[in-house]
Structure 1
């Protein structure tokens, strides 16, 4: 981040297609429902910024900080995030399918029911995030780590999982478990995962008292 950021003015708030925005501080700015394709945010700071319902295909965030922003129901197909931290954000229903994330950290974020289909994750961490019902169908997860996350009912159908790391996560009802070849799972998660795998293989597990 640069030493000095300039408060976002009218030019930075009224987004246009293919616009480049550098070193801007958005703060309590409301961009809900905005429509702009191919926007580049370079070294920008977003704190309590509202993007809810925005349509931002092919948006790029480079060297940005996103703190307690509202990204719920944002459509950001083919988005590119590079060296970005997101903390305390609400992003329920975010669509980032076919996106590319590199050196990105999500911390204490609500990212449930999100769409990550066909996305690629390169050195990405989700820590203490709610990812319930997230869709990672055919995503490349080889560079992602999930730490203390709720992944219940998340879908991993045909995802590339070799090297993906899971540590103390909620995994109840995850889909696509047969795609987990090469995933690295913490011992604390093995018991719950074994029930999911048994169900996928058609194995009936009797109650312990029978």
Structure 2
């Protein structure tokens, strides 16, 4: 006999309401629910599905969200600090200026998301996938992207210090004006990314990477040299 999973639709929920659902010990689906500024810290929400929900300034600090799905949700300034987001899925979401600092996002996926200004510093990030996502002005220090194919990522003005881009293939991406101090690009293919505004000291990080003639000319122009 199969157990029917709980689905809650179009409700305004507070911490106590979510806690009652969580205490059942089974995944719950929330559709069109509002949880703005709700504190969900330390809750066990593994496998939950959040569809078209609102999370403005909501707190998920140290929450357990393994395998959770966020679909078309909006959560500007949400706080996922130290949350467990292993194998979670974010699809078509807007979590601009949210905090994922120290979160475990291994094998998580972010597709068609807006993460402008998001803070992923010190996140545990093995095999994370970003696709068609805005990460401009984001903080991604120490992030590992190695050997991935990155598609349609906007990392303009992002903080990418000590990031690992070794073996990465960039397709329709932007690193314009990004901070690349101590980032690694050995074996990377940068021909599909905008590297405009890269500082001379950061251009040295591209040693061992593949760039186009146009990109080479752009880098050399920073030295006052012209390619003919």
Matches for 1:1-210 after TM superposition, within 5 Å: 7=7, 10-11=17-18, 14-121=38-145, 124-142=148-166, 144-175=168-199, 176-182=202-208, 184-186=209-211, 189-196=212-219, 199=222, 203-206=223-226
Contact 1:165 1:185 in 2 (8 A): yes
Q: Deviations over 1:115-145 (max 9, x none)?
A: 1123333554431122111110122333644
Stretches of structure 2 that go unaligned for 5 or more consecutive residues are 23-34
The answer to which structure has the higher strand fraction is 1
Contact 1:100–1:120 at 8 Å: present in 2 too?
no
What do the CA deviations read for 1:126-179 (whole angstroms, capped 9, x no partner)?
311221111101223336443210221112111233344434111111231222
Task: Please list every run of 5 or more consecutive structure 1 residues that lacks an aligned counterpart in the other structure.
Answer: none
Rounded to whole Å, the distance in 2 between the matches of 1:5 and 1:197 is 60
Figure out how many residues of one structure are paired with residues of the other and give that number.
Answer: 199
Indicate how the Cα distance of structure 1 residues 197 and 53 shifts in structure 2: closer, same or farther if over 3 A, else same: farther
Q: TM-score, normalised by structure 2?
A: 0.75
Please say which of residues 132-141 and 162-171 is displaced more in the overlay: 162-171
Contact 1:102/1:124, CA 8 A, preserved across alignment = no
Which aligned runs of 4 or more in structure 1 are off by greater than 6 angstroms? Answer: none
Range that drifts further, 104-113 or 157-166: 157-166
